[in-house]
Amino acid sequence: MQINLITGISGSGKSVALRAFEDAGYDCVDNLPVSLVENLIATLESEHSERVAVAIDARRGQSIADLPLILEHLKRSHEVRVVFLNADTNTLVQRFSETRRRHPLSGKDDQFPAATLIEAIDKERGLLEPLRAQAHSIDTSNLPAHALRAWIQDLLKDKPLGLTVVFESFGFKKGLPSEADVVFDVRCLPNPHYDKVLRPLTGNDQAVQAFLEKIPEVRGMQEDITQFIDKWLPHYIADGRSYLTVAIGCTGGQHRSVYLVNQISRYFRAQSALTNYPINFLNRHRELDSIPATTT
Q: Are residues 189 and 271 located together in one domain of the fold?
A: yes
- Taking residue 98's Cβ as centre, other Cβ atoms within 10 Å add up to 9
Q: Are residues 16 and 85 located together in one domain of the fold?
A: yes
Q: Are residues 43 and 87 located together in one domain of the fold?
A: yes
In whole angstroms, what is the distance from residue 68 CA to residue 286 CA? 29
The pLDDT assigned to 225 comes to 97
Structural domain ending residue among the three candidates 134, 156, 178: 156
Q: How many domains does one find in the chain? A: 2
Q: Are residues 89 and 138 located together in one domain of the fold?
A: yes
What CATH number is attached to the domain comprising 35?
A: 3.40.50.300
Q: Are 87 and 141 in contact (CB under 8 A)?
A: yes
Query: How far, rounded to the nearest angstrom, does the alpha carbon of residue 71 sit from its chain's CA centroid?
Result: 19
Beta strands in the chain (DSSP E): 2-8, 27-29, 51-55, 79-86, 136-139, 163-171, 182-185, 243-250, 279-285
Q: Are residues 76 and 195 located together in one domain of the fold?
A: no
Q: Are residues 27 and 97 located together in one domain of the fold?
A: yes
The pLDDT assigned to 64 comes to 83
Q: Are residues 197 and 262 located together in one domain of the fold?
A: yes
Render the burial of 66-79: b for 16+ CB within 10 Å, e for the rest.
Answer: ebeebbeebeeeee
Q: Are residues 31 and 132 located together in one domain of the fold?
A: yes
The pLDDT assigned to 111 comes to 44
Q: Are residues 227 and 152 located together in one domain of the fold?
A: no
pLDDT along the chain (296 residues), means of 10: 92 92 90 89 91 86 81 91 92 88 72 70 88 87 88 74 86 92 97 96 97 97 96 82 91 97 93 68 90 50
Structural domain ending residue among the three candidates 123, 156, 189: 156
User: Could you tell me if residue 211 is left (phi over 0), alpha (psi between -120 and 50 degrees) or otherwise beta?
Assistant: alpha
The pLDDT assigned to 162 comes to 67
Q: Are 256 and 250 in contact (CB under 8 A)?
A: yes
> For the whole prediction, is pTM greater than 0.85?
no
Strand partners, 280: 164
Residue 58: which H helix or E strand, with range? none
| Structural domain boundaries enclosing 178 | 163-289
What is the bridge-based pairing of β-strands 2-8 and 79-86? parallel
Q: Are residues 176 and 142 located together in one domain of the fold?
A: no
Residue 265 in any domain: the answer is yes
Q: Are residues 196 and 142 located together in one domain of the fold?
A: no
Structural domain ending residue among the three candidates 156, 179, 210: 156
Residue 67 in any domain: the answer is yes
